[in-house]
Structures are given as structure tokens and as C-alpha cells.
Structure 1
């Protein structure tokens, strides 16, 4: 099958800002849906809009523990009015007695406010003696009452198609009384590493061999992305073995990921095999790390070839593969948060490629964000990703940066302390 674009004919590396739209244009959202019990729907994506069949709240209710009464019964010439206590309303146990002028009821948070009463005073601003309740005047009628439908009205769209169901969304769906929900099935992703130098963890290394770390990093990233994944292991640097792995992966997955084998070395066979059994949409990016990134198709599956260097593999996953996964799962585009921070060390570099240096973002007592690199930025130094909580985003044309300059930072594991 011929390539869509001959990568070797490209005169320049592709800017990642141009590569991402090209990549997203090649993929569609999964169309297959399934209906799940609400208890099983965590981390799935909604297949359609959710409209409410009820009002929220479904009745006027008290926002706090206190006393409910008619605002008009207060003597506004005084700062405190004494009312007669005639009963109690509890959550799940409404007041059912008679109401008359100058009366009030004890009411608990969530309890229905009886018809005819329109204001609740918190108990801290009252005094009780026998059946008389002295109430310090509230500022307005309707205070401390959650009114019928103030949050959601019948027929209102509460959650939109493409929303990922997390803890809050589970609670919202339960509040609406939904016991089942229609969701998009989870994306299926197959992945493998290539390289004769790679060996499984737990085995003894010989000269020239290294442990395969990329599959573990990729597996962790895929798990956070809430997809179904299939680990095909380490595939030898052999065109026949790679072709067989491609065929197996394409039969079982929507997306196929590889690490390694997409550079220009004599033993980098992934691109050559993809030329034979699939299509290459683009290859080689103007980004650092991550230059040897390939994207294409394998039958009905999408293919992404990640670089073999561990940091480059993770950076390209964050910047390119994750947005692709989100679109395929129906989430649409979720723009990454970028913030400005003050650089606290010099960065020496030459213009030419967009660079994603690993950094440590901190937040000082004056509310200022500052960032420092994690040190050496080699694309094989995976410890730089472990230490980092952000990427320092350096434009393609940018040269040396000095301490004290403002830079753009993309947090990925930042926690305020």
C-alpha cells in the first residue's frame, strides 16, 4: 500500500503545532456504545447528552439547621422577634402540622420547607426558651432556602456528550435517579517495543543490552488515559517479526503504539514495514525530544510510532498521542494548561526545534510561579521525567534563555503545597 506522503521527500521537519491537527484529522470518535449500570460507569465517556427528568432540588429545602418562619411575621421595628415553635421538620420527615401567624418550626438541613413559610434563620442567631424562639432579623426574605429547581430544571441538559464520568459525574447521575447510562466503549490500544538491545526486567543484562522501560511508562500513561491496553512485549529488530506484530495488533486494537524503530538507522524497520502494510501520514517532527515520531494507519487501526529514547517517548505521548486518544474516545479537544513562570536558571540552546525541557514548577509565598530545569536534558535520561512536574515550552526560534526571564510552562504533575 503506498504512503500518503513520502517522508524522505519532506524538505523540513514538521512543527508539532502543525502535526497535531494533521494527526487529529486522521481519526474519528469510536461509534460503538454500550449501556452500563451506573456503578460500573466510572471513567467511561458519555455517548449522549443527559437531560434531567426532575428538578433539583425537587422541593424547597433548608440550607442549614435552624428555624423556618414567614418573613412577614417579623416585627421589623425591633431587631429581634419572638415566634411560637409548633413543630419540627427533618430530612425525609416533613412537618405536617398546622401553621398560624407568628409561628415557626425547627428545621434541619435538607428538610422540606412547608408551604407558607419562606425564610430560615440559622440556629446560631436564635434563642430558645420553652416554645418561644427569639429570632434575630435576617437581611432578606428567602434566606437559607434552596428553592425548587434552582440548580437544574426538568428537561435541562446536565451533562454533555463526550463528558468523562468521574466521581462528581457519578454523583450527578445518581442525583438524577439514573441507574443506567449509555457510554462509548473504551478505546483499545496495543503496544510493543522494538530493539534487539532490549531485555525484560528481571533478567541479567549482557554487554550492550538495556532493560525495556518504555513499555512500562507507556502502560502507565495508557492506564491514566482509561483505555483498554494490550502489551505485545518486545519485538526483535526483524521486518518479518514487526510485520507479524503489526498484523496482530491491528486485528485487536483501534490504536497501535510502538517505541523505537522509527529513526533512520539500518535496523530501524518500523517505518519500512509500515510503508509495506499500511500508510505513513507524517514522520519526523521539529521537536526536541521527539524528532523521530511517525503517524499512519494499519488497516482500520491508527498507528503512532514513538521514539525509542525514553523521555522522547513520554513527551510525544503527552503532546501528540494523548490528544488523539481523547478525540477517539469522544472527549473532543482538551487544551493543555499553560502558565507563565520565572526561569531560575540559564538554558543554553540553539534555535531549530520546539523544545520541551523538563522542569520543576514552584509557587512561592507571594503567589509567583517559578521554574527550574531538572538538570541534564538528555532524551535517554528518564529520571528527568520522574523529577519533573512540568514541561518548559521553548519556541522553535528561541535561542539562549537567562535566569529571570519569563517562560511558558505546561504542568503535568503539579500539586500546590
Structure 2
């Protein structure tokens, strides 16, 4: 199970933002670790340190196409007085039979091939005549003109220091080193390292599966024709994208009409693929607020410790909220308000940290900073509520975007930050220092 029982309070209790968030984070638990193939583990969080079983690279190898030689044999070499060496064979990457390099000898070597016994350095092909006896050539010319497997003589026109152009065994990581530590999020570079040290599977917290659904008989899918009184369903698309951005595997469910039984059945059907359910709309006290009607008693009798607690928060936008757990596995559910800006802000403040807690991350919050408010007149904020205004942040300054209305989607699309106005502040003048939550 991923949750403990949430707290409850009286119906008249006005929850602070911090109280509600603390309750969510105290309730939600990281998902149980599983063993996954590397590519399936992308985006997941390691639950244990990964040690290096074999050094990387596992042997000394050439970082250039050229010739493996002894340092003394090319000392003092120049274009006027080149060193003439006998080419005793070729070495390609992956070749197991190593040729011995003796005095006055060279082995033509390709990038990634192991340094042969007796060789002390690698001379790039550009410093030689490519085995053609015609003076220095480019690597392209050497590769195109020198016959495959050719032996004979090569002229070297520059000296090379010991170990030049040689990748030393263990120069990246050594056997017994810690490659990655527990808590690391596996992105492409980390997947690459795990594969390079021979790990085909890894133990991680899986990415949480988040089901997102919106409610409202007025909602119509994009690309369909609007009738009178209808609007397009944007919330389910917005929050599904938010869940994916947070690191989840997100499933969007089509909008559910204002019918409590239909909504309850839909949510129950989705629990089989949900580690978290997020609904939007229907959480207030109106006659058609079906989420509250459908879920306010779910789990109270059949699932001890379950059920959804609907709350009022001292915040704007997003005053009505619901949180709890449903179903036999006590799947956590967050019921967010239906206005687009309210649902987005609520997701960022509450659902995103819940998702990242399920992932097993240590830091689940968006970064915050301080900024100077730069444009427009004074900002007003309702007393006793923490207000979150959309803003555009750059270089230590932030300006508001759009008004305070919770329906202004176009303004939200231009914002990259939320400006936080504390509960005890009713006005903020231009030039004031404000707290900013950075988005994206």
C-alpha cells in the first residue's frame, strides 16, 4: 500500500496551505521497489547504490586512429628526419589477438583497440605518411588509401610522449567504485553508465501511474463541435501533461458527466491502473458538484481509514480541495477545483509533490527564489488567504501576467512562475521583494 490514513478536521476548519500539503506528504508513501530493465527504468529513482563490477575502460586503449609504438623509436622525429618503423600488423576495436611491438616496430591501431604489449604510446595517423611513403597525410586519406591489413613501413614525423592518446584502464571508473548512489533519478547519462559497467537491470521505485479525469456535463472534447453552454475540456489535458512533467505515467480519462454514480463507477474502474487519482471539478458545495457527492462517503464503511475529506483552504485560487484514499489498496485521491487556473495551481502545490513522493525523491518541491516585483500598480490580496499569482520571472525580477481570475488560461500559458503573497499581506507595491515559485 502507498498511503496511510489522512487527517480529518471539523467541517468549519479552514486549512492552511501548509497543513493540507503536510497531510498529503505524511500520508503518501514511496511505491515499493521493483527490478526493471534499464530502458524501462528511465525516469525512475534508484533505491540502492550501484557499485562498479568492472573498470571502465576495462583495458588500456587507443583514443585515436594511428600507430602504437615505443617512445624511444619516435624520439626526435621530424618532417626532415622522420622515424621509419616496420608495421607488423593491424589492431581493430574488439580484436583479441594482440601483436607484440618490438624495437623499431609499429602496429596500425584503430580507435578503441587495446594497446598492444610493448607499445608505450600512440602516434595519430595525421603525424605519419599513413604507410604510403608520401609524407604526412590526413586521417581520411590514410584510411582511404592504405590497404586493409597492410604491413610494411610507416614514416613518423613527430615524436609522442609516453601514454599519449591512450585511454588508461579505469580512467573513467574503477572496479569497486560507486557508480550511482541511491536516490539518483535515471536519465540517459545514468542509463548509459549502467550499461557501460554491465548492469542490465536495476532496482528502483517505479514511476507512479496517475489517472486524471475531469467532471462536468458542459465539457466537450477538443475537435468536437460546441453547443450552447458547452466549453472544451482543457483541465484533463493540462493536468495529464503536468503529471507527465512531474515524472509520472499519466492516463487521461474523458470528461465525466455530472452524475455521481457514473463518476463513482468510472473511478473504481480506473483503480486497477492507478497509484494516484486526480480529479478536477465538482468539489465545492453547489447542487451539481458531483465529486463531493460521489466520494465524500467512499470507504468509510468498507475500507477503514479510507474516504475523501473535503476541505476549505486559506488560499486563492483553489479554496475547495479534497484528499483521501479509495479502494482496497487505499489509492490516494486528490480532488482539485474545476477552474483552469485553480486546478493548475492546486496541482503544482499538492499533486506534484505527491507524485514525486511516490517516486521516492528526497526533494519533491519546485525551486523557490526571491524576486523584485517590477510592473503595474500595487497587488491586492484577500486578508487571511495565501494568494498565488501568475508571473513572468527573469534575472531576479518578476512581473504579473494577466489578472487574478481563475479562468484566465491564456495568461497562464505566458507564466513561468507563481508569485506568492502571504496570508498577512493585503497589498504589494512595485519594487517589493516577493517569493516566487519557479515553474518548468
Give the Cα–Cα distance (whole angstroms) in 2 for the partners of residues 280 and 291 of structure 1.
16
Change in 2 beyond 3 A, CA 1:94/1:106: farther
Any gaps of 5 or more consecutive residues in structure 2? 130-134, 136-152, 299-305
Give the Cα–Cα distance (whole angstroms) in 2 for the partners of residues 121 and 404 of structure 1.
63
Q: CA deviation at 1:359?
A: 2.7
| Equivalent pair of 1:67/1:107 in contact (CA under 8 Å) | yes
Query: Does residue 6 of the first structure (1) align with residue 38 of the second (2)?
Result: no
Give the Cα–Cα distance (whole angstroms) in 1 for the partners of residues 157 and 293 of structure 2.
85
Q: CA deviation at 1:101?
A: 5.4
Map of 2:26 onto structure 1: 25
Q: CA deviation at 1:301?
A: 0.8
* Cα distance per residue 1:101-121 (max 9 Å; x no partner): 576666544332334545556
| Equivalent pair of 1:61/1:110 in contact (CA under 8 Å) | yes
The number of residue pairs the alignment matches comes to 400
| Equivalent pair of 1:280/1:295 in contact (CA under 8 Å) | yes
Map of 1:348 onto structure 2: 379
Map of 1:148 onto structure 2: 169
Map of 2:213 onto structure 1: 192
TM-score (norm 1): 0.78
Give the Cα–Cα distance (whole angstroms) in 2 for the partners of residues 72 and 404 of structure 1.
70
Match of 2:227 among 205, 224, 229: 205
Matches within 5 A, 1:81-230: 85-87=85-87, 89-93=91-95, 96-100=98-102, 107-119=109-121, 126=127, 129=135, 131-135=154-158, 142-201=163-222, 202-207=224-229, 209-225=230-246, 227-230=248-251
| Equivalent pair of 1:81/1:137 in contact (CA under 8 Å) | no
Map of 1:357 onto structure 2: 389
Q: CA deviation at 1:302?
A: 0.3
Describe the SS at the equivalent of 1:311. helix
Give the Cα–Cα distance (whole angstroms) in 1 for the partners of residues 366 and 86 of structure 2.
57
Matches within 5 A, 1:59-78: 59-65=59-65
Give the Cα–Cα distance (whole angstroms) in 2 for the partners of residues 249 and 68 of structure 1.
63
Give the Cα–Cα distance (whole angstroms) in 1 for the partners of residues 273 and 128 of structure 2.
70
Q: CA RMSD in A?
A: 3.9
Give the Cα–Cα distance (whole angstroms) in 1 for the partners of residues 175 and 20 of structure 2.
44
Give the Cα–Cα distance (whole angstroms) in 2 for the partners of residues 250 and 382 of structure 1.
30
Matches within 5 A, 1:284-295: 284-295=312-323
Q: CA deviation at 1:304?
A: 0.3
Change in 2 beyond 3 A, CA 1:254/1:71: same
Q: CA deviation at 1:257?
A: 1.2
TM-score (norm 2): 0.74
Map of 2:139 onto structure 1: none
Map of 1:412 onto structure 2: 439
Any gaps of 5 or more consecutive residues in structure 1? 363-367
Q: CA deviation at 1:56?
A: 0.8
Q: CA deviation at 1:237?
A: 3.6
| Equivalent pair of 1:292/1:306 in contact (CA under 8 Å) | yes
Structure number with larger C-alpha Rg: 2
Give the Cα–Cα distance (whole angstroms) in 2 for the partners of residues 290 and 391 of structure 1.
14
Give the Cα–Cα distance (whole angstroms) in 1 for the partners of residues 47 and 74 of structure 2.
52
